[in-house]
Amino acid sequence: MKWRRRLSLFLGICLLIVGLALIFNKQIQSMLIKHATQTQLQAKITKPKKTKDTSFDFKQVKSVDSTKTLKNTLNKSQGMIGKVAIPAVNLKLPIYYGISDASLYRGAGTMKPDQQMGQGNYALAGHHMRDPNVLFSPIVRTKPGEKIYLTDGTKLYTYKITKKQLISKYAVEWINDVPNEKLVTLITCDDEGVDRYAIRGTLVKKQKLTSHLSQKYF
């Protein structure tokens, strides 16, 4: 019967599509996230604005979920409040206020509500993925002495990496301010999602952000 052949063909095509989606799931996920971060980097930097989804509780952050990727990369996000770059590992990401899913599926999120670049300990969190070039995955390849660059759209802040350490997920003291020090701290999960990588840098330079410097680093 023709209808049976058509049904079999239709089911076969559906199974093929599902199979391809499963095989290439991680690649599709990485592609969507990369597109979202690169698109956002071209947007205008805005002032921090708290919303109902704003969170600063890193313990509540879940690993990247493929079922949430489409929603969090295609839906309109909150405004970017800055940018972070580490040229040595080819990292360039937008910074968002807080660490909600909408923030961490597109870039880095601030871990404290009132932190400011160039003051105290500016702490950022980001997702670590199997793709070594997506989101905060590159920070595990950083080395002491390499530079971290932050900008709020007006100033360029240059930090020199001084520490790189695997820490417990309960070591919240890493995001606290340290008296008389101007720091940046980047935190992401390890491969197993059990512990955390912490990268610490010390401020070495603050200067006006020119178009030349913006193009060079971001």
Residues with a catalytic annotation lie at: 127, 189
Calpha distance 13→192 (Å, rounded)? 35
For the record, the structure tokens of 132 come out as: 């070594």
Calpha distance 121→163 (Å, rounded)? 14
Calpha distance 77→52 (Å, rounded)? 13
User: Any idea which residue has 């919240």 for tokens?
Assistant: 172
CB 187 within 8 A of CB 198: yes
CB 109 within 8 A of CB 96: yes
Calpha distance 95→108 (Å, rounded)? 5
Calpha distance 168→170 (Å, rounded)? 5
The burial of 3, by beta-carbon neighbours within 10 Å (0-12 exposed, 13-18 middle, 19 or more buried), is given as: exposed
Nearest one of 74, 81, 84, 89 to 35, comparing CA atoms:
74
Phi then psi dihedrals of residue 114, to 5 deg: -115, 15
